[in-house]
Amino acid sequence: MDRLIDLIEQYPIITLFRHQAADCDALGAQFGLKQWIMERYPDKQVYALGTSLGSHGKDFPSIDCVSDALIKDSLAIILDTANAQRIDDERWQSAAYKVKVDHHIFVERYGDEEWIEDGKGATCEILAHLFQQRKEVLSKQCAEYLYLGMITDTMQFSIAATTPQMLQTAAYLLAQGVDVVKLHQLNFAKSKQDFALENYIRANYQLFEEHVAYCIVPKQAYEQLGLSFNEAKEKIYTLGNVNEFYTWALFVENGKNEAGEKLYNGSLRSRTIIINDIATRFSGGGHRRACGVKQLTKTDIQTILTLLAAKCREVI
Protein backbone atom coordinates (compact mmCIF):
# COMPACT_ATOMS: atom_id res chain seq x y z
CA MET A 1 0.00 0.00 0.00
CA ASP A 2 2.08 2.88 -1.29
CA ARG A 3 -0.62 5.24 -0.03
CA LEU A 4 0.53 4.49 3.53
CA ILE A 5 4.06 5.51 2.61
CA ASP A 6 2.72 8.70 1.00
CA LEU A 7 0.93 9.63 4.21
CA ILE A 8 3.98 8.89 6.33
CA GLU A 9 6.01 11.16 4.08
CA GLN A 10 3.34 13.86 4.31
CA TYR A 11 3.10 14.13 8.12
CA PRO A 12 5.98 15.28 10.37
CA ILE A 13 4.41 13.56 13.41
CA ILE A 14 3.22 9.94 13.38
CA THR A 15 1.54 8.19 16.30
CA LEU A 16 1.18 4.41 16.30
CA PHE A 17 -1.66 2.68 18.14
CA ARG A 18 -2.71 -0.97 18.59
CA HIS A 19 -5.18 -3.07 20.55
CA GLN A 20 -5.47 -3.59 24.29
CA ALA A 21 -3.72 -6.54 25.93
CA ALA A 22 -1.20 -6.40 23.12
CA ASP A 23 0.24 -9.61 21.67
CA CYS A 24 3.44 -9.96 19.66
CA ASP A 25 1.71 -9.17 16.37
CA ALA A 26 0.34 -5.89 17.70
CA LEU A 27 3.63 -4.94 19.35
CA GLY A 28 5.75 -6.25 16.49
CA ALA A 29 3.76 -4.21 13.97
CA GLN A 30 3.88 -1.13 16.18
CA PHE A 31 7.60 -1.21 16.93
CA GLY A 32 8.58 -2.66 13.56
CA LEU A 33 6.88 0.25 11.78
CA LYS A 34 8.28 2.74 14.28
CA GLN A 35 11.80 1.40 13.75
CA TRP A 36 11.46 1.61 9.98
CA ILE A 37 10.13 5.18 10.07
CA MET A 38 12.90 6.32 12.42
CA GLU A 39 15.55 4.82 10.17
CA ARG A 40 14.00 5.82 6.85
CA TYR A 41 12.85 9.31 7.91
CA PRO A 42 15.10 10.42 10.79
CA ASP A 43 13.65 13.95 10.84
CA LYS A 44 10.15 12.73 11.71
CA GLN A 45 8.70 12.33 15.17
CA VAL A 46 7.19 8.87 15.65
CA TYR A 47 5.66 7.48 18.83
CA ALA A 48 4.30 4.09 19.95
CA LEU A 49 1.34 4.52 22.30
CA GLY A 50 -0.80 2.38 24.60
CA THR A 51 -0.55 1.02 28.12
CA SER A 52 -2.36 -2.35 28.12
CA LEU A 53 0.44 -4.83 27.49
CA GLY A 54 0.22 -8.58 27.23
CA SER A 55 2.74 -11.03 28.58
CA HIS A 56 5.33 -10.09 25.92
CA GLY A 57 5.37 -6.37 26.65
CA LYS A 58 8.69 -6.87 28.42
CA ASP A 59 10.25 -8.06 25.15
CA PHE A 60 9.71 -4.72 23.41
CA PRO A 61 10.84 -1.13 24.05
CA SER A 62 9.01 1.14 26.48
CA ILE A 63 5.83 2.83 25.34
CA ASP A 64 6.13 6.55 24.61
CA CYS A 65 4.39 9.34 26.56
CA VAL A 66 3.11 12.26 24.50
CA SER A 67 0.82 15.23 24.98
CA ASP A 68 -2.74 15.48 23.72
CA ALA A 69 -1.71 18.43 21.56
CA LEU A 70 0.94 16.39 19.76
CA ILE A 71 -1.55 13.65 18.89
CA LYS A 72 -3.94 16.23 17.43
CA ASP A 73 -1.26 17.22 14.92
CA SER A 74 -0.30 13.67 14.02
CA LEU A 75 -1.02 10.97 11.51
CA ALA A 76 -2.42 8.11 13.61
CA ILE A 77 -1.78 4.59 12.30
CA ILE A 78 -3.87 2.02 14.16
CA LEU A 79 -2.47 -1.48 13.83
CA ASP A 80 -3.93 -4.96 14.29
CA THR A 81 -7.26 -3.72 15.67
CA ALA A 82 -10.60 -4.56 14.05
CA ASN A 83 -12.90 -2.36 16.13
CA ALA A 84 -12.48 1.05 17.73
CA GLN A 85 -13.46 -0.11 21.22
CA ARG A 86 -10.29 -2.24 21.47
CA ILE A 87 -7.83 0.54 20.60
CA ASP A 88 -5.51 1.09 23.55
CA ASP A 89 -5.54 4.89 24.16
CA GLU A 90 -8.71 6.62 23.02
CA ARG A 91 -6.80 9.78 22.09
CA TRP A 92 -6.38 8.29 18.59
CA GLN A 93 -9.74 9.89 17.83
CA SER A 94 -8.26 13.39 18.02
CA ALA A 95 -5.50 12.77 15.44
CA ALA A 96 -5.43 14.93 12.32
CA TYR A 97 -5.76 11.86 10.08
CA LYS A 98 -6.33 8.21 10.91
CA VAL A 99 -5.34 5.05 9.02
CA LYS A 100 -6.27 1.50 9.99
CA VAL A 101 -3.93 -1.38 9.06
CA ASP A 102 -5.30 -4.78 10.03
CA HIS A 103 -5.57 -8.46 9.10
CA HIS A 104 -8.75 -9.32 11.01
CA ILE A 105 -12.16 -9.80 9.43
CA PHE A 106 -13.88 -6.43 8.95
CA VAL A 107 -15.96 -5.38 11.95
CA GLU A 108 -16.40 -1.64 11.57
CA ARG A 109 -14.91 1.36 9.84
CA TYR A 110 -13.23 3.88 12.09
CA GLY A 111 -10.33 5.33 10.09
CA ASP A 112 -10.21 7.99 7.39
CA GLU A 113 -8.56 5.28 5.32
CA GLU A 114 -8.41 1.55 5.98
CA TRP A 115 -6.06 -1.14 4.72
CA ILE A 116 -7.43 -4.57 5.60
CA GLU A 117 -6.01 -7.86 4.33
CA ASP A 118 -7.87 -10.60 6.19
CA GLY A 119 -6.15 -13.26 4.09
CA LYS A 120 -2.85 -12.42 5.76
CA GLY A 121 -1.80 -14.32 8.86
CA ALA A 122 -0.57 -11.26 10.76
CA THR A 123 -0.47 -7.49 10.59
CA CYS A 124 3.32 -7.86 10.71
CA GLU A 125 3.04 -9.88 7.51
CA ILE A 126 1.16 -7.02 5.82
CA LEU A 127 3.91 -4.55 6.70
CA ALA A 128 6.73 -6.95 5.87
CA HIS A 129 5.18 -7.74 2.49
CA LEU A 130 4.89 -4.01 1.78
CA PHE A 131 8.59 -3.54 2.53
CA GLN A 132 9.41 -6.64 0.49
CA GLN A 133 7.55 -5.27 -2.54
CA ARG A 134 9.40 -1.98 -2.21
CA LYS A 135 12.72 -3.84 -1.92
CA GLU A 136 13.48 -2.06 1.35
CA VAL A 137 16.65 -3.00 3.21
CA LEU A 138 15.59 -3.35 6.83
CA SER A 139 17.70 -3.20 9.95
CA LYS A 140 17.97 -6.45 11.88
CA GLN A 141 15.94 -4.89 14.71
CA CYS A 142 13.06 -3.89 12.45
CA ALA A 143 13.01 -7.30 10.75
CA GLU A 144 13.02 -9.10 14.10
CA TYR A 145 10.04 -7.15 15.40
CA LEU A 146 8.07 -8.10 12.28
CA TYR A 147 9.20 -11.72 12.28
CA LEU A 148 8.26 -12.12 15.94
CA GLY A 149 4.74 -10.94 15.17
CA MET A 150 4.45 -13.28 12.21
CA ILE A 151 5.45 -16.44 14.06
CA THR A 152 3.08 -15.57 16.91
CA ASP A 153 -0.11 -15.10 14.94
CA THR A 154 0.64 -17.91 12.47
CA MET A 155 1.66 -20.39 15.19
CA GLN A 156 5.02 -20.85 13.47
CA PHE A 157 3.47 -20.91 10.00
CA SER A 158 1.00 -23.69 10.78
CA ILE A 159 -2.39 -21.99 10.35
CA ALA A 160 -4.79 -22.26 7.41
CA ALA A 161 -3.78 -18.79 6.19
CA THR A 162 -0.20 -19.92 5.54
CA THR A 163 0.67 -19.35 1.87
CA PRO A 164 3.75 -19.52 -0.33
CA GLN A 165 3.81 -15.71 -0.28
CA MET A 166 3.84 -15.70 3.53
CA LEU A 167 6.88 -17.96 3.58
CA GLN A 168 8.58 -15.84 0.92
CA THR A 169 7.97 -12.78 3.08
CA ALA A 170 9.42 -14.62 6.09
CA ALA A 171 12.46 -15.50 3.97
CA TYR A 172 12.81 -11.82 3.08
CA LEU A 173 12.94 -10.98 6.81
CA LEU A 174 15.48 -13.72 7.43
CA ALA A 175 17.67 -12.19 4.75
CA GLN A 176 17.77 -9.01 6.85
CA GLY A 177 19.60 -10.89 9.63
CA VAL A 178 16.81 -12.25 11.84
CA ASP A 179 18.02 -14.54 14.63
CA VAL A 180 15.46 -17.34 14.27
CA VAL A 181 16.59 -19.38 17.28
CA LYS A 182 16.51 -16.37 19.61
CA LEU A 183 13.04 -15.25 18.53
CA HIS A 184 11.47 -18.70 18.67
CA GLN A 185 12.92 -19.17 22.16
CA LEU A 186 11.69 -15.72 23.18
CA ASN A 187 8.17 -16.40 21.99
CA PHE A 188 7.57 -20.10 22.67
CA ALA A 189 9.80 -21.01 25.63
CA LYS A 190 7.97 -21.25 28.95
CA SER A 191 8.61 -20.93 32.65
CA LYS A 192 7.87 -23.62 35.22
CA GLN A 193 4.81 -21.58 36.20
CA ASP A 194 3.53 -21.61 32.61
CA PHE A 195 4.16 -25.33 32.44
CA ALA A 196 2.23 -25.85 35.69
CA LEU A 197 -0.78 -23.90 34.41
CA GLU A 198 -0.78 -25.89 31.17
CA ASN A 199 -0.84 -29.06 33.25
CA TYR A 200 -3.76 -27.65 35.25
CA ILE A 201 -5.68 -27.02 32.02
CA ARG A 202 -4.99 -30.51 30.70
CA ALA A 203 -6.00 -32.07 34.02
CA ASN A 204 -9.21 -30.04 34.33
CA TYR A 205 -10.50 -29.83 30.76
CA GLN A 206 -13.98 -31.14 30.01
CA LEU A 207 -15.85 -32.28 26.94
CA PHE A 208 -19.11 -30.70 25.89
CA GLU A 209 -20.73 -33.41 23.84
CA GLU A 210 -18.10 -35.32 21.89
CA HIS A 211 -15.91 -32.83 20.05
CA VAL A 212 -15.85 -29.58 22.06
CA ALA A 213 -13.08 -29.39 24.65
CA TYR A 214 -13.02 -26.56 27.16
CA CYS A 215 -11.54 -25.50 30.45
CA ILE A 216 -12.69 -22.84 32.91
CA VAL A 217 -9.71 -21.36 34.77
CA PRO A 218 -10.45 -19.63 38.10
CA LYS A 219 -8.41 -16.62 39.11
CA GLN A 220 -6.94 -18.53 42.04
CA ALA A 221 -5.44 -21.16 39.72
CA TYR A 222 -3.20 -18.72 37.85
CA GLU A 223 -2.59 -16.21 40.62
CA GLN A 224 -1.22 -18.84 43.01
CA LEU A 225 1.34 -19.63 40.32
CA GLY A 226 2.34 -15.99 40.10
CA LEU A 227 0.87 -15.56 36.61
CA SER A 228 -1.23 -12.67 35.35
CA PHE A 229 -4.58 -12.84 33.61
CA ASN A 230 -2.91 -11.96 30.29
CA GLU A 231 -0.46 -14.82 30.70
CA ALA A 232 -3.24 -17.25 31.59
CA LYS A 233 -5.54 -16.40 28.69
CA GLU A 234 -2.81 -17.13 26.17
CA LYS A 235 -2.80 -20.82 27.13
CA ILE A 236 -5.59 -21.69 24.67
CA TYR A 237 -3.03 -23.61 22.60
CA THR A 238 -2.81 -26.17 25.41
CA LEU A 239 -6.04 -27.79 24.19
CA GLY A 240 -5.06 -27.77 20.51
CA ASN A 241 -3.71 -30.52 18.27
CA VAL A 242 -6.00 -33.25 19.61
CA ASN A 243 -7.66 -35.16 16.78
CA GLU A 244 -10.95 -35.64 18.62
CA PHE A 245 -11.28 -31.93 19.52
CA TYR A 246 -12.93 -30.21 16.55
CA THR A 247 -13.21 -26.98 18.54
CA TRP A 248 -11.72 -25.95 21.87
CA ALA A 249 -12.21 -23.06 24.26
CA LEU A 250 -10.51 -21.54 27.29
CA PHE A 251 -12.45 -19.36 29.74
CA VAL A 252 -10.32 -17.40 32.23
CA GLU A 253 -11.83 -15.61 35.22
CA ASN A 254 -11.32 -11.86 35.11
CA GLY A 255 -13.44 -9.99 37.64
CA LYS A 256 -17.12 -9.77 38.59
CA ASN A 257 -20.16 -7.89 37.38
CA GLU A 258 -22.32 -5.57 39.49
CA ALA A 259 -24.40 -8.51 40.66
CA GLY A 260 -21.30 -10.24 42.00
CA GLU A 261 -21.21 -12.93 39.30
CA LYS A 262 -17.78 -14.04 38.17
CA LEU A 263 -16.88 -12.95 34.64
CA TYR A 264 -14.64 -14.72 32.16
CA ASN A 265 -12.82 -13.91 28.97
CA GLY A 266 -13.02 -16.66 26.40
CA SER A 267 -10.70 -17.79 23.60
CA LEU A 268 -12.30 -19.99 20.91
CA ARG A 269 -10.39 -22.10 18.38
CA SER A 270 -10.98 -24.68 15.66
CA ARG A 271 -8.98 -26.27 12.87
CA THR A 272 -11.53 -26.12 10.05
CA ILE A 273 -14.89 -24.95 11.44
CA ILE A 274 -15.77 -21.27 11.09
CA ILE A 275 -16.65 -20.02 14.58
CA ASN A 276 -16.15 -16.24 14.56
CA ASP A 277 -19.91 -15.72 14.09
CA ILE A 278 -20.38 -17.17 17.59
CA ALA A 279 -17.91 -14.67 19.03
CA THR A 280 -19.70 -11.86 17.20
CA ARG A 281 -22.96 -12.76 18.95
CA PHE A 282 -21.23 -11.96 22.23
CA SER A 283 -19.63 -8.70 21.01
CA GLY A 284 -16.33 -10.48 20.37
CA GLY A 285 -14.45 -11.15 17.19
CA GLY A 286 -11.20 -12.08 15.53
CA HIS A 287 -10.47 -14.60 12.81
CA ARG A 288 -12.73 -17.22 11.29
CA ARG A 289 -11.21 -20.04 13.36
CA ALA A 290 -9.53 -18.11 16.18
CA CYS A 291 -11.48 -15.50 18.08
CA GLY A 292 -12.25 -14.13 21.51
CA VAL A 293 -15.08 -12.90 23.73
CA LYS A 294 -15.12 -10.91 26.98
CA GLN A 295 -17.24 -10.39 30.08
CA LEU A 296 -18.95 -13.78 29.98
CA THR A 297 -21.09 -15.20 32.75
CA LYS A 298 -21.30 -18.94 33.37
CA THR A 299 -24.63 -18.86 31.51
CA ASP A 300 -22.93 -17.24 28.50
CA ILE A 301 -20.28 -19.94 28.55
CA GLN A 302 -22.90 -22.68 28.41
CA THR A 303 -24.57 -20.97 25.45
CA ILE A 304 -21.27 -20.68 23.59
CA LEU A 305 -20.47 -24.34 24.20
CA THR A 306 -23.91 -25.30 22.91
CA LEU A 307 -23.32 -23.29 19.74
CA LEU A 308 -19.87 -24.81 19.24
CA ALA A 309 -21.28 -28.29 19.66
CA ALA A 310 -23.94 -27.57 17.04
CA LYS A 311 -21.21 -26.51 14.62
CA CYS A 312 -19.36 -29.76 15.26
CA ARG A 313 -22.47 -31.86 14.62
CA GLU A 314 -22.79 -30.24 11.20
CA VAL A 315 -19.46 -31.72 10.09
CA ILE A 316 -19.73 -35.19 11.62
Cβ neighbours for 236, distance < 8 A, ≥ 6 positions apart: 248, 249, 250, 267, 269
Per-residue CA distances from 268 to 246, 253, 255, 271, 299 (Å): 11, 15, 20, 11, 16
Indicate the pLDDT class of residue 201, thresholds 50, 70 and 90. very high
The answer, yes or no, to whether residue 54 has pLDDT greater than 80, is no
Percent of the chain with pLDDT over 70: 100
pLDDT per residue as tens digits for the range 74-114: 999 999 999 998 999 999 999 999 999 999 989 899 999 99
**Mean pLDDT of all residues in 219-245:** 94
Residue of 282, 279, 200, 198 lying closest to 240 (CA atoms): 198
Percent of the chain with pLDDT over 90: 86
